Amino acid sequence: MKKLTLPLKNGEAAELCAGENVLLSGVILTARDCAHKRLTELIQKGEKLPFELKNAIIYYAGPCPARPGLASGSCGPTTSARMDSFAPILLDLGLGGMIGKGEMSDEVRAAICKNGAVYFAAVGGAGALYGNAIKKSECIAFPDLLSEAVYRLEIENFPAVVAYDCRGGSIY
């Protein structure tokens, strides 16, 4: 099992191969459909994004509220294909990769290759496990979206699989 620190540094995605099991630690951002729509609208208007996109990893998830003493509640992945229309734009602007559940479109796969990015698969139904890997959680954009807001998460030993690598490899 390969241990990775996020965000990935330039060129690190090129060392990953589809099918590799990884443990992710470091910083990721969450964003689901509504947040992606808002980000795209900001980009189309030429406005500044509320966070740095360069090399960031976006987890397609919405964390549940935390019980006392915990950083987060359950935080399982949502279906990644719902972000297909947004992902290429964000990848072209420097997004380092995504974490989600299930296949994405051929257009997204091409954008991953073009931009030297990576797509990690997380296991559906394992939200409690992923919630336990979250050590710190902070809402950084769109708080009115509640669980669909953008959160900055500090994670430790978050298990995933390299689903799409930057050379076109796929577990699907």
In the residue annotation, 55 being an active-site residue is answered as: no
Residue with tokens 């954009």: 141
DSSP H helices, the chain, are 33-44, 87-92, 106-115, 127-133
Nearest to 150 by CA among 70, 16, 31, 10: 31
Per-residue pLDDT of the chain (172 residues; tens, 9 = 90+): 999 999 998 889 999 999 999 999 999 999 999 999 999 999 999 999 999 999 999 999 999 988 898 899 999 999 999 999 999 999 999 999 999 999 999 999 999 999 999 999 999 989 999 999 999 999 999 999 998 999 999 999 999 999 999 999 999 9
Fold classification of 2-164 is: fumarase (3.20.130)
Give the start-to-end residue ranges of the domains of the chain: 2-164
Residue with tokens 């099991």: 21
Whether this model's pTM surpasses 0.85: yes
Distance between CA 136 and CA 123 in Å, rounded?
Answer: 21
Q: Are 6 and 27 within 8 A, CB to CB? A: yes
Distance between CA 91 and CA 39 in Å, rounded?
Answer: 13
Sign of CA dihedral 76, 172, 163, 160: positive
Distances (CA, A) of 84 to 35, 75, 96: 14, 21, 16
Sign of CA dihedral 51, 54, 55, 57: positive
Distances (CA, A) of 129 to 42, 50, 109, 153, 157: 33, 29, 27, 15, 10
Two tokens at 105?
């479109």
Give the CA radius of gyration of the chain. Answer: 15
| Catalytic hit among 32, 36, 38, 109 | 36
